[in-house]
Amino acid sequence: MGALVDDIRVIREENPFESMMSRFDNAAQLLNLDPDLYKVLRVPNREITIYIPVFMDDGRIEVFTGYRVQHNFARGPAKGGIRFAPDITLDEIRALAAWMTWKCAVVNIPFGGAKGGIICDPSQMSQAELERMTRRYTAELIDFIGPERDVPAPDMNTNEQTMAWIMDTYSMHARHTVTAVVTGKPIDLSGSRGRREATGRGLLCVTNEAVKKLGLKVPEARVVVQGSGNVGGTAARLLYETGYKLVALSDIHGGIYNAKGLDIPDVMQYLAKNNSLELYPRAEPVSNHELLELDCEVLLPAATENQITSHNADKIRCRILVEGANGPTTAAADEILERKGVFVIPDILANAGGVTCSYFEWVQDRMGYFWKEELVNERLQDIMVASFNDVVKYAESHNVNNRIAAYMLAIDRVAYITRVRGIYA
């Protein structure tokens, strides 16, 4: 019986929706949020489940399950990525949609939150099968997405090509080209310069601010990055170029560690050539779990959810935790990290560089005029630094940690707009 209770506790702790709601409830209570507004903001506006028949290359039909959850429209069109993965759940999509609402509000851009996904294993599908699945998914959502309604973007296992298929399918139905229906498109298809690096660049911006606030020096700040994909790999490269000492990096198979510092360009070149960091000759191997517990000034988890839990939070030895992934820390771990004095830059602030640059892409598409990359990066830095300062000031004035401050600030902004707009009945 005891083992069953423990299993249930783990399932609840690692359920992203439970974590999101726990933090939402805490922040709402501290805000003394009006009970009627609480009822409105705690639930999504719309949840869509789609069953997608697809002709496979061998001639048979496979039916995939897809989701799109639109959490909130108070501040503007919904915004959020689409992911392809075999283990997607509706609870996960619900949580990610809500996180997008709070993330957009934290950086004060005029979007609400949404998220989508299809349960599939893209590694086992051909390019043609992925295209047919994506286009059918888009066609089923045609009445629910659009530049003024809901603007999808890439996420796990989706990319610029996926967005191009969505844009083309939507445009065929609209009978004219609609570039602003998605973001994260190829630059030649009205994408934005700087978009691919935006999440990593945003992480650099908030790390710089945190290091400055804690009185640390960049060359002496040891950084550990979990993940080496577009977010983790880009963040690692930009931090290295800024002068940080990158001591550990990982991929899905495991990590590498060198106390004297890694040559990140050399590591990334090795990774591109070998598709794995295993056997990298100029570092020691470490597991992804061991990597999280290394002694460092900055820990940047940029892989998947639920990496820091109540089981390992007490072993975390960083000064600053910068959440590159969505939901890398469970709600149950928050109290332990706060007790240890870890300065947490929560995901809804730290990795908001991606959605901020998506906003820039949407703006550029709608005006039909595109900015130089230097201008994109300058405007991204302005928003990330201002948002970091907003959250830290909120935390200090309300005597709460940064995560709860970020939620309180976001909920306060969404609640204000909801109150002013009123409830249509």
Residue 377 tokens, joined: 């990066």
**Is residue 324 within 8 Å of residue 203, measured between CB atoms?**
yes
Listed residue (319, 356, 359) closest to 337, CA to CA:
319
Sign (positive or negative) of CA dihedral 29, 33, 36, 37: negative
Helix (H) or strand (E) holding 333: helix 331-340
b or e along 47-57 (b: 16 or more beta carbons within 10 Å of the residue's beta carbon)?
A: ebebebebeee
173-179, Cβ contacts within 8 angstroms, sequence gap of 24 or more: 173/139, 173/142, 178/146, 178/147, 179/365
DSSP sequence for 378-418: HHHHHHHHHHHHHHHHHHHHHT--HHHHHHHHHHHHHHHHH
Q: Please indicate whether residue 115 is annotated as part of the active site.
A: yes
79, 115, 185, 245: the catalytic one is 115
Strand partners, 114: 70
Integer Cα distance of 267 and 228 in angstroms: 10
Residue type (1 letter), 4: L
Residue 259 tokens, joined: 């106390």
Residue type (1 letter), 310: S
Integer Cα distance of 335 and 356 in angstroms: 29
At 82 the three-state DSSP class reads strand
| Catalytic machinery residues | 115
